[in-house]
Structure 1
Amino acid sequence: MIPATTAVSRLAALRSMGDEEGLDLLVIGGGVTGAGVALDAATRGLRTGIVEMQDWASGTSGRSSKLVHGGMRYLYNLDFALVQEALRERGLLLSTIAPHLVRAQPFLWPLRTPVVERSYSALGVGLYDAMSALGNLTLPGDRGAAAVPTQKHYSRKQTLERFPDLRPEHLTGSIRFYDARVDDARLVLGLVRTAVSYGALAATRAQATELLREEARRGSATDEPARVVGAVVTDLETGETHHVRAKHVVNATGVWTEEVESLAREGGGLQVLASKGVHLVVPRDRIRGDAGLFLRTEKSVLFVIPWQHYWVIGTTDTPWNGPLRHPITTRTDIEYVLEQANKVLASDLTADDIIGTWAGLRPLLQPKDSAPGESAKISREHTVAEVAPGMVSIAGGKLTTYRVMARDAVDFALGPEKARRWPSITEKIPLVGAVGLEAAGRYLARVAPGYGWDADRVEHLLSRYGSEVGTLIDLIEEDPSLAAPLPSAPVYLGAEVAFAVRYEGSLHLEDILLHRLRIDHEQRDRGLGAVADVLAIAVPLLGWDADRQAAEVKAYEARLAGIRAGEAEADDEAAVAARHTAEDLIPIRTLRRVNR
């Protein structure tokens, strides 16, 4: 039985982190890397804590392209080792770690010239397939479950049969290859909840605002820096502080890396460049096609990715110099993505077709000699570095390779001897919902007709909860009304709202709409129309009074107004100003930086 993460368990976790026993390892940052570090450390038998100043996956890890991929474009940069590593991790996620969340996805690579481009592209895709097959040979367990079909070539006619909305002019054919897609926020939730099941202590809305240090040793020719021995963690919900002692602290905060490093030292450490990536969402019936598209643009690459009920189109890759908490999609971003998509799509998409957008910041390692504006050329490989004795930072990488990053961070923190004694075992650890997936699918197919659920509903539930669908059924047995779809968002069941509160640690309305149900980018009103239906289920479980409900609704409405205002602006600076007119319901704190 997986322990439920709730508002109550969160408070208990913060109290336990601050007890006299202390932690072996404290993770700062609740994105995919930090969640991966927490799981890696917990499964080595370390007493582990993880804190996140917002909700899980509130930053980059909830605003990605939602792809698990080797990185076809990195072959152009000859980053063979990076691609090989990522393809092996893709295989692990598909076969063992999260087969319910990570699904194989075919893509078409449209070709414009008949011979040279096809030959050149086929060579690249062939290398991609070969590296994938080689990586699968080293996977534990059932390697066949990780295999995806190899490339297939289509003529112009065959391509248009498979994707009727491709523009026929200049099209000579295509190559089909496979990668995978994932709900990034649910992957992070799965990592955290699995870590909790192995004893990790986890808390959102808990910010590391200061570091704890032991007295510096003096008397030598060079004073030895004081060792970091934990952090002061502020509960942003209550204002209480907890002194969390830890033998090792890992900074896994992505684009916030340098800000957190400033708690330990002035200058130095890892340097991270924030690069903005924008995605648009359009209805599934707006584009006719049964595969994704992979397109190279003059600035980056463009993916057109089919999901169950919509398409995701992105991305951009532009330097970001604004506030890190609320990156914003501008009118210029929207026009650019639409322009690139319409170059190959006969759908002639317009801004009126867009039902959702999001902007995320990639945490790219910053080479000291790189020129401004060249973020697309910076390697995605990760680096672990000691910021101060007792504290390490990890940055770079990408969602697909989170597990390798986590392993390297824990190895580095422990040191070679301890890392050999307690090696990482996460390549063999399934996430919550992965064990018994096939049996759960058969069970759900059997009971679904009794609840009026069709095959589309069954696929939706399995791809989000996996074998935890049994827990959803238990909630419905307690309250049969939860079997019905939400009237304002019929893709989701009432039971999913209850599950988000009782098992997935939702503390606020926005937690449910943004990171549990994802209604925020799936409906034109960004979920505003679903607020009443969601609150009707969540409020009794959370124990909110009328004032608290009003504050939650007001904050959500203000957030949406800020986003809409920002999307009407042409440049980042104006868009940020518009977005930041909306105050956060739970503000983060100013950090106490060192001055030495």
Structure 2
Amino acid sequence: MVTQNPVRIDDEVPPAAATGAGGLGPSQRRAAIRAMRDQELDVLVVGGGIVGAGSALDAVTRGLTVGLVEARDWSAGTSSRSSKLVHGGIRYLEQLNFTLVREALIERGLLLQRIAPHLVKPVKFLFPLTHRVWERFYIGAGMLMYDAFSWTGGRPPGVPHHRHLSRRQLYRAIPSLKKGAMVGGMTYYDAQVDDARYGTMVARTAARYGAHVATRVRVEGFVKVGERVVGVDAIDLETGERFQIKAKQVVNATGVWTDDTQRLVGERGGFHVRASKGVHLVVPRDRIQSTMGMILRTEKSVLFVIPWGRHWLVGTTDTEYELNKAHPAATAHDIDYILDHVNEVLATPLTREDVEGVYAGLRPLLAGESEQTSQLSREHIVTHTVPGLVVIAGGKWTTYRVMAKDAIDAAASALDGRVPGSVTEDIALVGGAGYQAAWNQRAAIAARTGLHPARIEHLLNRFGTLAEEVLALIAERPALAAPVPGADDYLQAEIVYATTHEGALHLDDVLARRTRISIEAWDRGVSAAPVAAALMAEVLGWDAEHEQLEVDTYLERVRAERESQTMPDDESADRVRLEAPEIVQAV
């Protein structure tokens, strides 16, 4: 554990930290903490994952005064380590969970077309067939149902319907398939998203509508009057300041930490959240020749091969996990399991040398329905465990907006006066309004700025219309148009923007979540770290010692992760991963 004392909450922030409307910069964070400290809120949300951020947005757009605190970074846990899919869940059809599939498909359409067209994109998948006739009929019936459910939200689904492929068509579309591995297939569409970026944009949208949001604020206890929760005891981990936040209703949206958070108030909540570990590999796009992704059955679950820019994501595992929740580590066994299963269908097998990056995340599953985590429910639960405290747990990334709505419905029912219903179905995230027009003008934007059209497309698909703010940084400082060393897909301006407008406070925030350099670069961000830290230092006022500390801490993280991935089991991988220090400013 490393302790430092960078800029305090009430210190002056360098002029470069000034942010535009809706930006999450150092000055905004200072103001948000002050506001939460000095007034009673209607709703305080604890947990800055996708459900917590979504809950804050839902509450503030109902006209409530809202706070949102996160102990680490936006989406630092589960919400940045998913399969990065927005999907209905083909496998849930076999479990006859039609309600969950329908709900998720309706949300998929909303995210694609209305809420975040700049961040959520259609992706084509192959469902392979290994048996003739009966399997095509059986899977085809499921695909028809999948397509039909996607229309039940009262609007077009936003993606094409499924199609059948013959064996010849299949191998023409995916030349890398092993001969004889399949007899045919079906194509269908779902959608994909950079989950960490999406979570940050939800928090930023909540702030734009007036929510007070801050990362690196840890809840250490609940304030109670009698049996009623009336707020929390919190600590600003950047400054060491301890303070209380008073709220009429507190929402616990801490995912796999739900049980830990509930223990702070002395209540379990009548249910238990189990963690299931999922591991994904990142491999270069040229290692698999295919025009689409794939979904493959395994003996335990399913394996996805997902197109991801100039890479493929291959995963996932599904195993019970009871160790460190902040830094779940992939083991050698996890990596071999994924490689072995994907290689069953590839003509040229993938090897360890093909793996660019590895990441592991934990799914929060409601316990009690099965001993196998892969069979546990992906539905969610909302409960008032004690007066003043709402708990939201379970669920899946795709249905975060529904989960948030249900949580705030529960909180609103206990507030005095009439609270309007949820309106997030009709609210675009920041950068979403006008995205299609900006996309159509991308050639003109490229000509005006002198950047390659591919760079403009990259920025539009990461920031939407807010790309103009990134381009303004480049206009002011042309040197920021240079790519980040070792990660040519990203511009140095994106590092600065992450710090001034997206709430990044530490190097890990930028390399692991505002960008995905930590999993996409061959060196996992080692060469990018010194340049990124120098750019962040200009904004955050780091001295040379703290700047070097950020770099050294990140390099230790990379070393520990690489070594943990050679370990045979969870216990040894966890021990090695935890050898890396964290930058913790207060204890």
Coarse TM-score class (shorter-chain normalised) = over 0.9
Residue type at the aligned position of 2:27: V
Partner of 2:367: 366
Q: Counterpart amino acid of 1:167?
A: K
Match of 2:198 in 1: 187
Q: 1:420 to 1:169 in 2, by over 3 A?
A: farther
How is 1:33-432 mapped onto 2 (pairs within 5 angstroms)?
A: 33-135=51-153, 137=154, 143-144=155-156, 146-214=157-225, 216=226, 226-367=227-368, 370-371=370-371, 374-415=372-413, 421-432=419-430
- Amino acid across the alignment from 2:211: A
Q: Runs of 5+ in structure 1 lacking a partner?
A: 138-142, 217-225, 590-596
8 Å CA contact 1:261, 1:269 repeated in 2 = no
Q: Which residue of 2 aligns with 1:439?
A: 437
Rounded to whole Å, the distance in 2 between the matches of 1:266 and 1:89 is 32
Q: Deviations over 1:219-256 (max 9, x none)?
A: xxxxxxx2000001110111111210000000000000
Q: How does 1:461-480 map to 2 (within 5 A)?
A: 461-480=459-478
301-310 vs 475-484, which moves further: 475-484
Number of positions where the alignment pairs a residue of Structure 1 with one of Structure 2: 568
Deviation at 1:413, TM superposition (A): 1.3
Q: Which residue in 2 is equivalent to 1:223?
A: none
**How many Å separate the matches in 2 of 1:2 and 1:382?**
34
Deviations 1:423-479 (A, max 9, x none): 000000000110000221233321314555334323321211111111111111211
**Secondary structure of 1:18's aligned partner:** helix
Amino acid at match of 1:128: Y
Give the 5 Å matches for 1:11-26. Answer: 11-19=30-38, 21-26=39-44
1:289-316 CA-to-partner distances (Å, cap 9, x unmatched) read 0111011111110000001110000001
Once residues 97 and 510 of structure 1 are traced to their aligned partners in structure 2, the CA distance between those partners, rounded to angstroms, is: 28
Q: 3-state DSSP class of the match of 1:38?
A: helix
Change (3 A) 1:430 1:574: same
Partner of 2:14: none
The aligned residue for residue 519 of structure 2 is: 521
**1:268/1:280 CA distance change after superposition, 3 Å:** same
Structure 2: distance between partners of 1:173 and 1:315: 23
Name the CA shift for 1:543/1:299 in 2 (closer, same or farther; >3 Å).
same
Deviation at 1:49, TM superposition (A): 0.4
Q: Aligned-residue CA RMSD in angstroms?
A: 1.5
Inter-CA distance 508–324: structure 2 relative to 1 (3 Å threshold): same
Structure-2 separation of matches of 1:453 and 1:419 = 53
In structure 2, distance between residues paired with 1:105 and 1:268:
38
- The question of 1:492 aligning with 2:510 is answered no
Distance 1:191 1:506 in 2: 15
- 1:586 is aligned to 2:584: yes
* C-alpha separation in 2, matches of 1:578 and 1:212: 37
SS at match of 2:151: helix
Output the CA distance in 1 between the equivalents of 2:250 and 2:430: 26
Indicate how the Cα distance of structure 1 residues 156 and 508 shifts in structure 2: closer, same or farther if over 3 A, else same: same
In the superposition, relative to structure 1, how do residues 5 and 346 fare at CA in structure 2: closer, same or farther (>3 Å)? same
Structure 2: runs of 5 or more not aligned = 1-19
- Give the C-alpha shift of residue 25 in structure 1: 0.3
User: Which position in structure 1 is the counterpart of 2:4?
Assistant: none
Taking the aligned partners of 1:364 and 1:313, their CA distance within structure 2 comes to 22
Offset of 1:325 from its aligned partner? Answer: 0.9
* 1:588–1:580 CA distance, 2 compared to 1 (3 A): farther
1:420 to partner: Cα distance: 6.5
Residue identity in the other structure for 2:176? D
Aligned-residue offset at 1:267: 3.9
| Separation in structure 1 between the aligned mates of residue 217 and residue 493 of structure 2, nearest angstrom | 28
Distance 1:418 1:74 in 2: 39
Distance in 2, Cα, partners of 1:554 & 1:407: 41
Whole-angstrom CA distance in 1 between matches of 2:528 and 2:279: 25
Structure 2 residue identity aligned to 1:332 = H
TM-score (normalizing by structure 1): 0.93
* Secondary structure in 2 matching 1:134: coil
Cα 1:330–1:124 shift into 2, 3 Å: same
Q: Does structure 2 retain, via aligned residues, the 8 Å contact 1:264–1:387?
A: no
1:422 deviates by 1.0
Summarize the Cα distance change of 1:538–1:302 in structure 2 as closer, same or farther, 3 Å threshold. Answer: same
Deviation at 1:517, TM superposition (A): 1.1
- Aligned residue for 1:121, secondary structure, equals helix
Task: Tell me the equivalent position of 1:592.
Answer: none
What is the CA deviation profile of residues 557-578 of structure 1, one whole-angstrom value per residue up to 9, with x for unaligned ones? 1111211121010100010011
Deviation larger for 492-501 or 313-322: 492-501
SS of residue in 2 equivalent to 1:346: coil
Name the SS of the counterpart of 1:432 in structure 2.
Answer: coil
State the distance in 1 between where 2:327 and 2:485 align: 30
State the 1:522 CA deviation: 0.3
Contact 1:207-1:588 within 8 A present in 2 as well: no
Deviations 1:476-521 (A, max 9, x none): 1211111222243211111111110110011111111011111000
1:270–1:393 Cα contact (<8 Å) kept: no
Partner of 1:550: 548
Residue 6 of structure 1 aligns with which residue?
25
Q: Residues 528-552 of structure 1, C-alpha deviation per residue, up to 9 Å, x if partnerless?
A: 1111221232221121111101111
CA distance in 1, matches of 2:130, 2:482: 48
1:588: how far off?
Answer: 8.0
Deviation, structure 1 residue 344: 1.1
Amino acid at match of 2:340: E
Q: Distance in 2 between matches of 1:57 and 1:319?
A: 21
Distance 1:267 1:489 in 2: 44
CA distance in 1, matches of 2:75, 2:147: 31
State the secondary structure of the residue aligned to 1:463.
helix
